[in-house]
Amino acid sequence: MERKKSYIEDVERGIYDIVDQEKHAYIVDKGLTEEIITEISQVKNEPQWMLDFRLKCLKIYKSMPVPMWSADLSELDIENIVHYVKPDAKQSHTWDDVPDYIKNTFERLGIPQAERESLAGVGAQYDSEVIYHSMSEHLARQGVIYMDIDKALIEYEDIIKEYFMTLITPHDHKFAALHGAVWSGGSYVYVPEGVQVDLPLQSYFRLNAKGAGQFEHTLIIVEKGASLHFIEGCSAPKYSVQNLHAGAVELFIREGAKLRYSTIENWSRNMYNLNTKRALVDAHGTIEWISGSFGSKVSMLYPMSILQGAHAKSEFTGVTFASTGQYLDTGMKVIHAAPYTNSTVHAKSISKNGGYAYYRSLLRVLESAHNCKSTVNCESLMLDNFSKSDTLPIIELFNDQVDIGHEAKIGRISDDAIFYMMSRGISEEEAKAMVVRGFVEPISKELPLEYAVELNNLITMELEGTIG
């Protein structure tokens, strides 16, 4: 007897796909040349060393091959991407000063409301520049710095020069080099020693320009004994041409400090999301990654924790949802470089309607990292037979005094669970959504309420459609 199966159609992405009219104050030509890089640097009035660095990165970029070990990037035409788009808006500290069409976009995305209700500071980037930035006064009084990184390059040049792209170097991979060459916008956060930032800070990155790239750089330094929750959101409307996101996130967590870095990524389905994130954790420090990857055509995203101090700790909790036409290659890297370090990875992926979810991770324990512990857990849910789901967690041990555990599971929604819920009067569609929401519950419960709701909305949005 043929077994009946349920399938789910693709959906509209609602508010995320609303396109604003393009109004640019400045836009560079398509492609990647020394002239364009120089032009970007001059428009931003950067110091000479930064221009030199950008040009060096361009050379490295051009010398490196396109990575072949994962997604097919052959359709990504860098020469057809606009690498810098300055919106027709100056940076302001009140939403009233932001042009209406941009403000309305962020209103739809719920950023001002979240700022009023649950955030200690917000940065909003539109295309290549940050157009809104604010932080509560009591944090400023404690010495917390939260500003866009272009501004920090002027006001805190020495610090930026000391830290910028030292954790993610242009030699790491081709798109790290690209980032070094064309970066624009992003956030700089400095939390002084002992300061506990009670409410999260959020930076939201919206890419509106058709065929453009977004290359924001986030640099966060959390000093000894301090703590911070930083939220990163990103989205873009869907176009028929390619967009590219190659941002970089460098996090420095000092002794005994704690940083939670949460991301809800909902790029449009024409986006190549080739982002790089890395955290360096000192003794007794903690990095917590919370990650939700929903959008993009192609994602290659593997946040890395380098535990360089004894008793440093890394936790990763992430969910990836791949649907029609999406190849989401996500995962996590942990380097245990000091004794008594601890890491936990809890990853979930869902694939439906031909989506391809690939979980890829690396756990490396160096010779010096004795008495370390690590637990890696990944689960994959396939919602239909057209989809693909792969899991490849790599473990490299150079030390015997370790306690390493890894588990992975793959499967589909239990028919018994659906049948049970339907017998209780719940529709098949809702029953399936409930199971999926339950599947990602370990992630959503780690997010602030508003973002957990957004995560659930995204899941519901992904699951809407015909079942039968």
- Would you say 29 or 367 has its CB closer to other proteins? 367
- Would you say 3 or 141 has its CB closer to other proteins? 3
Is residue 2 a contact residue for other proteins (CB under 8 A)?
A: no
State the minimum distance, in angstroms, from the CB of residue 415 to other proteins: 9
Is residue 343 a contact residue for other proteins (CB under 8 A)?
A: no
By CB under 8 A, name the one of 399, 426, 430, 450 that touches other proteins: 399
How many helices (H) and strands (E) would you count in the chain? 12, 25
By CB under 8 A, name the one of 30, 412, 422, 442 that touches other proteins: 412
By CB under 8 A, name the one of 55, 145, 199, 408 that touches other proteins: 408
What is the identity of the amino acid at 267?
A: W
State the minimum distance, in angstroms, from the CB of residue 431 to other proteins: 17
Chain positions 4 to 33 lying near other proteins, rule: CB under 8 A, are 5
Supply 96's token pair.
């009233």
Nearest to 183 by CA among 232, 122, 128, 259: 128
State the minimum distance, in angstroms, from the CB of residue 404 to other proteins: 4
- Would you say 55 or 410 has its CB closer to other proteins? 410
Is residue 398 a contact residue for other proteins (CB under 8 A)?
A: yes
Q: Which stretch binds other proteins (CB under 8 A): 210-218, 288-296, 402-410, 444-452?
A: 402-410
Rounded CA separation 37/60 (Å): 14
Say if CB 124 and CB 94 are below 8 A apart.
no
State the minimum distance, in angstroms, from the CB of residue 467 to other proteins: 14
Rounded CA separation 322/314 (Å): 25
Say if CB 221 and CB 189 are below 8 A apart.
yes
Rounded CA separation 279/147 (Å): 20
Is residue 392 a contact residue for other proteins (CB under 8 A)?
A: yes
Contacts of 189 (CB under 8 A, 6+ apart): 144, 145, 146, 201, 218, 219, 220, 221, 222, 228, 230
Rounded CA separation 197/438 (Å): 30
Is residue 401 a contact residue for other proteins (CB under 8 A)?
A: yes
Say if CB 307 and CB 432 are below 8 A apart.
no
State the minimum distance, in angstroms, from the CB of residue 459 to other proteins: 18
By CB under 8 A, name the one of 255, 384, 428, 464 that touches other proteins: 384
Which residues of the shown chain bind other proteins in the complex (CB under 8 A)?
3, 5, 367, 370, 380, 382-385, 387-412
